[in-house]
Every structure is written in structure tokens, then in C-alpha cells.
Structure 1
Amino acid sequence: MYKNQRRIKELTPYIPAVDIFRIYEREPGAAFLDSSLVNELGHYSVIGRCPYLKLVKDGESFTINGRPETETTFEDYMREYLNTHEDKNNSGLPIVSGAVGYFSYDYGRKQMGVPSGEKDLVTVPEAVLTFYDCFIIEDCQEKRTYLVSNGISADAAAEIGAMEKAIREFTEAGKQEGSETGKKKESGNRMVTENSHREKFRIQVHPNFEKEEYKQAVDRMIRYIIEGDIYIANMTQQLTIESEKPPLDVFYDLRKNNPSPFGGYLDFGDYQIVCASPERFLKMKDRHVNTRPIKGTRKRGVTSEEDEMLRRELQDSGKDKSELLMIVDLERNDLNRVCTPGSVKVTELFTVEAYATVFHLVSDIEGKLEEEKNVMDLLEAAFPGGSITGAPKYRAMEIIDELEHGKRNLYTGSIGYLTLDGSCDFNIVIRTALHKDGKYHLGVGGGITAESDLDFEYEETLQKAKAILDALQ
């Protein structure tokens, strides 16, 4: 059993987590899981502070706080750590102790044993998990914010007091900014003027497919489906974008103009992740598991009439429903590998969700994790998510590697948290920009079935890129 000196205190008056993140955004190891779209899914936002344990899996290398570890693997270390540092959470908050981080698609590909002949378009570690001493947690629905310190890196009460003091001073400074107060109040009592009148940044977009090449690859994927190799697969192109806009500014603009329930900002020093994902991959609380795949997209309409027409078009689309149904079946099979027999159920089948630039068709599958299993077993069974691979998963991933022009890397992996009480919440990494060496890397793709239209599939990738490209300007 893990022992600590945890302190939890509600912040009064209430201040949103995004406003508080302005204080800590440049701290080493800054992590913000952001529910900017407040709905049934977008319930909590989480800021991680004061990292004390960083685990990095990079090819054959595994490091613990920067030191190479050769006596055990990343996976075995995580299983052992979770077992020996169990920490019950009776607070009602989603996380009070644990890690924030990511698993890349290529981490999952290697775990599945799928070889790759493709090159890296950008190189970052395959998986990173950072355990934090302090958390700032916002209940976005109830409009309440909590400060948490576990007393690992410093005295817990002192850390809570230091955070309260920093937040109070930052808020008071923002209120004294004069005529801009209203504008700053709206975006977090920021001590500088908001992005709304900043000059536009020029961008240059370099796709790794020409349009006709992409259509040919989709056509080849369709032939694999017709020949019986697979039922469905996800086809991706990668965009490399030149933009001088700082990643933090991209994040704040993106969350404002394209709010999402599973967004975030993670800073790893030499690279940053800006995320606005609408898709949950896996959530687990009290051994209750939930996955929520997306399949089917339509752009938003210019008028309310066009908007409703496009929504109904997606709702009534036989092709999109067939696509989603196949992924639901795959996800059910994945969960059944680690869940109690009979517990896996489809609780929603064809629900249309609205976002700033698109509609999505989604389903929801639930189950109960077996008693002897933990979050690493769950990830091993289900990762990477079926909605961004295809079915059967292994063969779909082989075909993906054959037809796509480069490794996916972080794209279609997962970002989120896992806790020392056995819970987790991870997204699917879509609508996400990876910033490194002055360039942004963005993956965009879609599900391919035998009924797919080549031009539509290409245009759908551009529609999915729109929100990120707008934020980069």
C-alpha cells in the first residue's frame, strides 16, 4: 500500500483550470488535460505539476528519470509499480495520484508484433508516463476547482499554500490591467492581451501524399476488402506544417475555436503536443470500463438548414453505420479478452455528436475488468483503438503500414492519465499537432469500406485538418 501525506483543498472563489494553467504553462513537464467542450464527456480538466517519476519507452531503450533501466521492461515496471503503490481515492475526484502521458500508435504496433518498413516522419519516444506530486482538477460541470498535493516532492500543506498564493497574485494582477480587464477576464485573467487581435501567421502545408496518390492507396485498400483480407481499415495521410506560431498560442486558440472533451497540452521540452480530440479510447473507474469509438464524419453546415441536412445525412448513412458497427464488434472482442464474461455490452450504437467543424457518429461499449487484471492488461488488450486500425486488427495494421507513406508515430495513439487506485482515462490522438524542431506534424485519416468514394475520403481528411490548420495561422 502506498503511503503519502495528501492534502486536497477546494479553491475559492472558483477559477477555471485553463486560467490557472497560464501560471504554470512554462514549468518543466507541464501537462494539461483539457475538457474545453463541457458536456457529458467533457467533465474534468486536469493539470499535473511537480513531476517526480518519468518513464520513457523509446525503441529498445527504457529510462526512469533519465537513467537507463536494463533489468526490467517498461510494461513489467509499470505493472509492479501500480501493484506496490496502490493508493485508494475516496475523494470523488478522477485522479489524486498517478501519471499523465501518452502511448503512440507505433508503441501499439510493436506490442501487436506488426513489423514496419516505413520511415519516421518525426521522432519522439513511443511512450511517456510522468507521475506528478500535485494536481489541479476542475469539475467543469459543477464549476469547482480543487488543489491536490501528495507531499512527495515537498510538504503537502506548503504546496497547497504556494499554489493558492500564486493563483491569488495572478488573479489580482489580471484585475489591475485596466481597460482590457473584460477581455482578459473572458480568457482567464491573463496578464497580456488575448489572441483575438494578434497578427496572422503564414503557414506552409506539406502533405506526404499527393491527392491522386492518396486515392490510389484508398483504392488498393478497398481491393483488400473485396478480396477478403479485411472488413474495414483506417487510411491516413500526414501533414508537415511550417508555422512560427508558438505551441501555447496554438493550444489556446484551438481550445477556444474548436472545443473538445479530450484535448490537452503536454510539454516535453524538445517537443510539445497540442490536442483537441473528440474521441475517448478507454475510461476505467472502479473496474468499470468504457470505450467510445467514432466512425463517420460530416462537415458542419453554413446555415442552420444545411447543418441539419448534413446531420441527418450522417445519421441515415448506411455506409457510416456499417463502418461503425464493424468497429463496435472489434472493440467488444477486445474488451472481452480482459473483462468478466457477460459484462461487455453496447450501451449506445449510432449517436451523432456535434463539434465546431464536424459531426461524428459514435457508439459506446462497456464492460467490467476481471479482478486479477489492471490498467496495463486493459491497454494491452485494446490498444491501439480499433476505430483507427480496422478489422481484423492485425491484418488491417499490416495493410496500413504497406499503404501509408510513413510511420504514424503519436497520431492515433492515446493521451490521458492512469491513477494509483487503478483508474484511467485515455483519448484517441486525432485533431492533434505534434510540434518539434519548429514544425508541426498532423495526421488526418478516415475509415475505408468497400463502399468508400475515393474523392470523398480525400476531402474528409482535409475537413478533419481544418480546425488545426486554422489554429496554426
Structure 2
Amino acid sequence: MYNNQRIIKELKPYIPAADIFRIYEKEAGCAFLDSSLVNDLGRYSIIGRAPYLKLVKDGDAFTVNGKPETGKTFEDYMREYLNTHEDKNECPLPIVSGAIGYFSYDYGREQMGVPTGEKDLVTIPEAVLTFYDCFIVEDCREKRTYLVTNGITGNAPELIRSMEKEIQENVKFGKISVSEAEKKITDPVSHREKFKIQVHPNFEKEEYKQAVDRMIRYIIEGDIYIANMTQQLTIESEKQPLDVFYDLRKNNPSPFGGYMDFGDYQIICASPERFLKMKDRHVNTRPIKGTRKRGATLEEDEMLRKELEDSGKDKSELLMIVDLERNDLNRVCTPGSVKVTELFTVEAYATVFHLVSDIGGTLADDKNVMDLLEAAFPGGSITGAPKYRAMEIIDELEHGKRNLYTGSIGYLTLDGSCDFNIVIRTALHKEEKYHLGVGGGITAESDLEFEYEETLQKAKAILEALQ
């Protein structure tokens, strides 16, 4: 059992986490998991502060707080740490102790033993997990915000008092507001001049269509049933990453967004897709397959929603991924516990509709969160079925490694819970360029022109935020 001096205190008056993040947005190591779209999925927003343990897997190198660790692998270190630092969470908040971070698609590819002949379009570590002493957790539905500290990096009461004082001073001096009627903190970026952007795709249009056609032939030949095909955009924009983030969350709210600054690179995320959630050993995954743009009028909007709802192609695509996810969960869940709890639900977002399903199960007693991640990562909705062969074909046909795109961002806790997204609608900023992956599921019925246009539709929200 892991001992700490945890204090949890509700912040009064209520201030949203997005406003509080303005205080800490440039603080070293601070991370923000942002549920800007408030629904049953996006209930909580989480800020991690005061990092005390940072694990980085970068190629063959594994470092702990910047120092090389040669005695253990990243995975072995994580298993041992979670086992020796178990910390029960007796309150309703999703996290009071644990880590925030990401796993890239290429981390999963390497774990599955899928070789690659592709080059990096941008280079960042394959996985980073940072354990935090302090959390600021907003219950977006109940409109209540809580301050949490575990007393690891300092005296717990002093850490709580310090956070309260910083927040109150920022309210006092008008940097953040406690009134919904007053000017919101996320407004300033909306008044700025537009930035010019230059977009450089790593596929020409006809090249992308030819790659999709080759993927369809693999399906017809029986290699796979479905696979996800991606193109990547490199975007030149002088807009600062934080400004992009605030614009994106305002104009394209999402349940699984976030912002992370790792010094030489930043992650700006507005993902609509949950990959894995686990609480009290109950697991669920929520794959997306099927997309339509939003209509310009109410009539067109409803027509496009209905078109997706009635699409046999999109339903069969999603059904294949549901079967794959069920198989993945069955590898680590109690026999008989894995069930499809939702099928073919249409969800609306600012620029698109998505078709989604939900699969649930109960993690077996001898398994933990690392076993769950190993069994299911990377997600079936962004690989294909069968997963290994689909990933081989992805590597053959795509022009460059996916890197962070279609990996996962989220948190895991010391009481064995987790919540991770699928990294889509996400920009990676490094060396004054933004990198954005966009793709879609390919089946035997796929239309080449439609698949190409769908990738552009998925890029729309981020490209607008970059301007």
C-alpha cells in the first residue's frame, strides 16, 4: 500500500478547469486533459501539476526522471511501480493519484512486432508517462472543481493553500473570472488576426486514391476485412500552440481533448473517441467508424445524419471493429463478461457526425492496466482486422510512420483505473511546424474519391484553428 498525505478540497466559488489552466499553462511539466464537450463521455477535465516521476521510452532508451534505466524495461518498471504504489481512491473523482501521458501508434506497432520500412516525419518519444503530486479536477456536469495534492513534492496543506492563493489572486486581478456573465478567459484568441497557413500533404490526391485502391485489393484477396488508411499533413503556421488549443476547444469542443507541453514539442488534441476506460475493473472501449460532415442547413444536417445512420457500408465497417475489440478484451477479461452495450449510435460534433459502438467487460483478477493496454493497443478502429496483417499493410502503403497519430492520450491511476483516447483530431507541434494525421476505414465497398474527401473533412477543424 502506498502512503501519502492526500488532501482533497473543493474550490469555491466554482471556476472551470480551462480557466484555471491559464494560470499554469506555461508551468514546466503541466498537463491538461480537457472535456470541452460536456456529455456522459466528457464529464471530467483534469490538470496535472507538480510532476515527481517521468518515464520516457524513446527508441531503445528508457529514462526515469531523465536518467537511463538499463535494469528494467518501460513495461516492467510500470508493472512494478503500480504493484508497489497501490493507492485506493475512496472518492468519486476519477483520479487523485497517478499519471498523465501518451502512447504513440509506433509504440504499439513495436510491441506487436510489426516491422517498419517507413521513416519518421517528426520524431518524439514513443511513450511518456508523468506522475503528478497535484491535480485540479473539474466535474463539468456538476460544475464543481476540486484541488488534490498527495504531499509528495511538499507539505500537503501548504500545497493546497498555495494553489488556492494563486487562483484567488488571478481572480482578484482579473486574469480569470468566476462569473459566467463576465468575459471568459478563453475569448481573447478569437479576436486575433488570421494566420496564413501552408499545408503540405505527404500524398498527392491520386497517390492516396491509388493506395486506397491497393488496400481494397488486399481486402478482395482475403488478406484483411478492413483497414485504416492515413495521410499526414505538415502545416506551416506562426500561430502559437496555446492559441491553437484555445481556439480549437472553443470552436470544436470534444470529450477527450487536451494540451501537453514537453518543451521541444507540444500536443494539441480535440479527440472525439474513447479508446479504453477502466474503473473498478469494469472496462469499456468505444470505437468510431463512419463519418459525415455537418450540413449547412438544418435540413441538410438531418439528411447527412440519417445517411450515416442508414449506411450499410459504415455499419459493416463498425461491426468488424466491434468484433475485433471484443476479441481484444476477451484476452484479459473474465470469460463471459464482454458484451456489446451500444451499437450504431450517431454522435454529433462541431464539423462531423460519427457512428459509434460501445463494448464492455470485467478485467480478470490477475490482470492490471498494463495487461489491458498490451491486449488492446493500438485500437482496432484505427488499425483494422485482422489487426497484425492490417498493420503490415498500413506500413506498406502509408508514406511515413504515424508517430503519435492514432496512439492514445489519457491517464492511469494508482488504484488501477484508466481513461485513454484515440489520438485523432490532434496536432503535434515541433520546430515551428504542425503535424496532423487524417484517415479513414477502408472496406471492399469504399469509394476512392469519398475516402480522400473524408480525410480533408476530418482535417477541417484543426486547419481552421491553425489560422
What TM-score do you get using the length of structure 2 for normalisation? 0.99
Equivalent in the alignment of 1:257: 251
Other-structure match for 2:69: 69
Aligned to 2:415: 421
Q: Can you list the C-alpha shifts for 1:286-330, whole angstroms capped at 9, x where unaligned? A: 000000000000000000000000000000000000000000000
Contact 1:174 1:184 in 2 (8 A): no
**In the TM superposition, what are the counterparts of 1:90-169 in structure 2 within 5 Å?**
90-169=90-169
Give me the whole-angstrom Cα distance separating, in 2, the residues matched to 1:216 and 1:253.
35
Q: Over residues 94-124 of structure 1, what are the superposed CA-to-partner deviations in whole Å (9 max), with x where a residue is unaligned?
A: 0000000000000000000000000000000
SS at 2:102's partner residue?
strand
From 257, 260, 267, give the equivalent of 1:273. 267
The alpha-carbon distance between structure 1 residues 383 and 207, as it changes in their structure 2 partners (threshold 3 A), is same
Displacement after TM superposition at 1:176 (Å): 10
Kindly provide the amino acid, as one letter, of the partner of residue 420 in structure 2: F
Tell me, yes or no, if the aligned pair for 2:55 and 2:64 is still in contact at 8 Å: yes
Render the CA deviation track for 1:392-422: whole Å, top value 9, x for unaligned.
0000000000000000000000000000000
Code of the residue aligned with 1:253 in structure 2: it is D
Q: Deviations over 1:171-196 (max 9, x none)?
A: 1111799xxx99993423x7xx7112
Does residue 1:305 correspond to 2:302, yes or no?
A: no
Q: Distance in 2 between matches of 1:176 and 1:318?
A: 48
Partners of 2:150 and 2:156 within 8 A in 1: yes
What is the 5 A alignment of 1:421-460? 421-460=415-454
Aligned mates of 2:223, 2:111 — CA distance in 1: 21
Q: SS in structure 2 opposite 1:153?
A: coil
Counterpart CA distance in 2 for 1:393 and 1:195 is: 42
- 8 Å CA contact 1:225–1:449 kept in 2: the answer is yes
SS of alignment partner, residue 447 of structure 1: strand
1:324-360 CA-to-partner distances (Å, cap 9, x unmatched) read: 0000000000000000000000000100000000000
Decide whether the 8 Å contact of 1:48 with 1:132 is kept in 2: yes
2:44 maps to amino acid: Y
User: Which ranges in structure 1 are unaligned for 5 or more consecutive residues?
Assistant: none
Over 3 Å counting, the alpha-carbon distance change for 1:169 and 1:304 in structure 2 is same
User: 1:326 & 1:297 partners in 2: Cα distance?
Assistant: 16
- Secondary structure (helix, strand or coil) at the match of 2:388 reads helix
Matches within 5 A, 1:349-428: 349-428=343-422
Task: Quickly say closer, same or farther: Cα 1:287–1:194, change in 2 above 3 A.
Answer: same
Instruction: Report the 3-state secondary structure (helix = DSSP H, G, I; strand = E; otherwise coil) of the residue aligned with 2:182.
Output: helix
Structure 2 vs 1, CA of residues 75 and 132 (structure 1 numbering), >3 Å: closer, same or farther? Answer: same
Other-structure match for 1:185: 182
Partners of 1:397 and 1:197 lie apart in 2 by 43
Distance in 2 separating the partners of 1:331 and 1:222:
22
Check if 1:220 corresponds to 2:214. yes
User: 1:21 matched to which residue of 2?
Assistant: 21
**How far apart in 2 are the matches of 1:173 and 1:387?**
47
2:192 to 182, 193, 198: 198
8 Å contact kept, 2:19–2:176: no
Partner amino acid for 2:464? D
1:470 matched to 2:464? The reply is yes
- Partner secondary structure for residue 205 of structure 1: strand
Q: 1:175 to 1:77 in 2, by over 3 A?
A: closer
C-alpha separation in 2, matches of 1:183 and 1:293: 34
The equivalent position to 1:293 in structure 2, one of 276, 287, 310, is 287
CA shift for structure 1 position 197: 1.4
Runs of 4+ in 1 over 4 A off after TM superposition: 181-184
- Give the letter aligned to residue 150 of structure 2: N
**d(CA) in 2 for partners of 1:147, 1:363:** 34
1:346 aligns with 2:309: no
After TM superposition, the structure 1 = structure 2 runs for residues 233-248 of structure 1, keeping only pairs within 5 Å, are 233-248=227-242
After TM superposition, list the pairs within 5 Å mapping 1:71-86 onto structure 2: 71-86=71-86
Q: Distance in 2 between matches of 1:173 and 1:251?
A: 24
Given that 1:183 and 1:194 are in contact with CA atoms closer than 8 Å, whether structure 2 keeps it comes out as no
1:79 partner amino acid: R
Measured in 1, the distance between the counterparts of 2:355 and 2:190 equals 32
* Aligned partner of residue 227 in structure 2, secondary structure: strand
Q: Percent identity?
A: 85
Looking at structure 1, the residues matched to 182 and 37 of structure 2 have their Cα atoms a distance apart, in angstroms, of: 19
How many residue pairs were aligned? Answer: 467
Question: Aligned partner of 1:185: which letter?
Answer: E
- Write the distance in 2 (CA, Å) between the matches of 1:185 and 1:20: 15
**8 Å contact from structure 2 (residues 170, 176) kept in 1:** no
Q: CA deviation at 1:377?
A: 0.1
Change over 3 Å in CA distance of 1:176–1:272 after alignment to 2: closer
